[in-house]
Structures are given as C-alpha cells and as structure tokens.
Amino acid sequence: MLTLHAVRKTFQGKPALDGVDLEIAPGRTTVLIGPSGCGKSTLLRLLIGLAEPDAGSVCFDGQALSDATIAALRLRMGYVIQQGGLFPHLTAGANVTLMAEQLGWDAERIRQRLAQLSDLTHFPRDGLARYPSELSGGQNQRVALMRALMLDPEVLLLDEPLGALDPMIRYELQQDLKAIFAALHKTVVLVTHDLAEAAFLGHRIVLMRDGRILQSGALAEMMAEPAEPFVEQFIRAQRSHLDLGGGER
C-alpha cells in the first residue's frame, strides 16, 4: 500500500531519516516505535506529504508522492496527531465534516456519515455542537479520529494519538481503537513510544533508532531474536515499566 525506498531526510544538518526502506501492508496495522528523535514522526509526515524526502521515494498504491499527486492522495488518507489538531474555531461536528463540505457533499450524506462515525467512535451526539475547548482530551481525540475517517480513506495515519491522555482514558481509547481498526480493515500506520500500546494495536512493529529501522515484525519475534543489542535494551526498558506500572496491560 505504502512504500518507502531509500528515503533520506535531513533537518538542519542532522539526519532524521538515514536510508529507510519500508513496505506497509494493506489492511494491517503497522506501528512505528522508537526513542524520541528516532525519525518515526518524520516518517509519518513524509507519508502524508507534510515533508518531502531529500532522497529516495515515497509511493502510495504504486503512485509516487509529489506536488502534483499529493492533493488527490491526501483525500485517500486520514491523519491524526497527538493533540488532535482540531480547529478551535469550529465545533466538533464542523471539524469532522469540514473536508466533506469543501468537496461539496450534500447535507444528507454528511449527516448520515457523521451519525455513523459518532456511533463507531462512541462519541456522544450532543457533543458534536461543542467546541474543542469544551470537550475533554479523550473526546477531542475521538473527534480527530472521526475527522480522519470522514471521507472513508484507505489509509489511516496516527501520530501518537493517545500520547497526551491520562492512563484511564488512554486505556479506554486503546480498546476502542483496536475495535475500530478491526471493524474497518484499513491500512493503519501508528506512531507511539509505548511498546505495550504497539504490541496491543499492531500487527507489525517497526523499531527505529537514529533515523534507521533496526528491526520489524511481531513483538515475540523481536524478543526471541533481537537484531541488535539495542532492540533487547529497548524492550527490556519498556517491560520493566510495564511490570512496575500498568500490570493489567
């Protein structure tokens, strides 16, 4: 579905991505994980065209992302960022339907889709008339998810969507996300720094460090056969947190 080939990206002289090859399978959830600054968010930004590679290519469904193709391709992708990126001057409902209105959908179609999405994401109907500042963080992320799903895109890109939420809400949303991903069969790329979340949501985990992919596959594979000592260290560090804190996960 999404293919990166020999992608390099430099920010202010420092390589953010240093020769990345990645194939993202359709209908599956791929999780990008790694310590901060490893390039996982940059990779996601390349996929939605918010950044361009200095070298190499990014393809969507066989089509290279470029200035000419990006506008059409973005309509086939949904994007959610950490704080939701909701527009504060629009109500939750208007945030969700913004792009459909821009594309000239008729009111009935918009209304139906909105109802469908609020059921899917367990977002209360009466919350649609509220502004983001009047909603909780978790509800805002549900709205952001609805907005990303509005046009029924083939691909869903999520950049630490749960990063700013407190643990209870986060747990609840993780459950919901997993159910939604399973119900929709979409190609999902999710960025997180939380290994438990990655293992819970992802079919495949891609572990990155210093702009390169160290290893990818299921968590069990990584634990059994770490490609580098760092993979083992990373997993151990996260697991010790798991043992101390979120036992039920």
Of 39 and 226, the one with the shorter C-beta distance to other proteins is: 39
Residue in 29, 30, 91, 141 binding other proteins, rule: CB under 8 A: 91
Site for other proteins in 175-214 (CB under 8 A): none
Question: Helix/strand/coil (H, E, C) string of the chain?
Answer: CEEEEEEEEEECCEEEEEEEEEEECCCCEEEEECCCCCCHHHHHHHHHCCCCCCEEEEEECCEECCHHHHHHHHCCEEEECCCCCCCCCCCHHHHHHHHHHHCCCCHHHHHHHHHHHHHHCCCCHHHHHCCHHHCCHHHHHHHHHHHHHCCCCCEEEEECCCCCCCHHHHHHHHHHHHHHHHHHCCEEEEECCCHHHHHHHCCEEEEEECCEEEEEECHHHHHHCCCCHHHHHHHHHHHHHHHHCCCCC
Site for other proteins in 36-65 (CB under 8 A): 48-50
Please report how close the Cβ of residue 160 comes to other proteins at its closest, in angstroms: 12
Residue in 87, 167, 225, 240 binding other proteins, rule: CB under 8 A: 87
φ and ψ at residue 190, rounded to 5 degrees = -125, 135
Residue in 12, 68, 71, 244 binding other proteins, rule: CB under 8 A: 71
State yes or no: residue 169 binds other proteins (CB under 8 A).
no
Please report how close the Cβ of residue 138 comes to other proteins at its closest, in angstroms: 18
Please report how close the Cβ of residue 114 comes to other proteins at its closest, in angstroms: 16
Of 44 and 222, the one with the shorter C-beta distance to other proteins is: 44
Taking each helix axis from N to C terminus, what angle separates 107-120 and 92-102, rounded to the nearest 10 degrees? 130
Residue in 12, 102, 224, 229 binding other proteins, rule: CB under 8 A: 102
Site for other proteins in 109-168 (CB under 8 A): 131-134, 147, 151
Residue in 7, 31, 81, 198 binding other proteins, rule: CB under 8 A: 81
Which residue type sits at 8? R
Tokens for 74? 């973005």
Q: Which residues pair with residue 49 across a beta bridge?
A: none
Please report how close the Cβ of residue 89 comes to other proteins at its closest, in angstroms: 5
Of 83 and 116, the one with the shorter C-beta distance to other proteins is: 83
Quick check: 6 and 181 in contact, CB under 8 A? no
Of 135 and 222, the one with the shorter C-beta distance to other proteins is: 135
Of 20 and 149, the one with the shorter C-beta distance to other proteins is: 149
If binding means CB under 8 A, how many residues of this protein chain bind other proteins?
26
Contact residues for other proteins (CB under 8 A)? 48-50, 71, 74-75, 77, 79, 81, 83, 85-91, 98-99, 102, 131-134, 147, 151
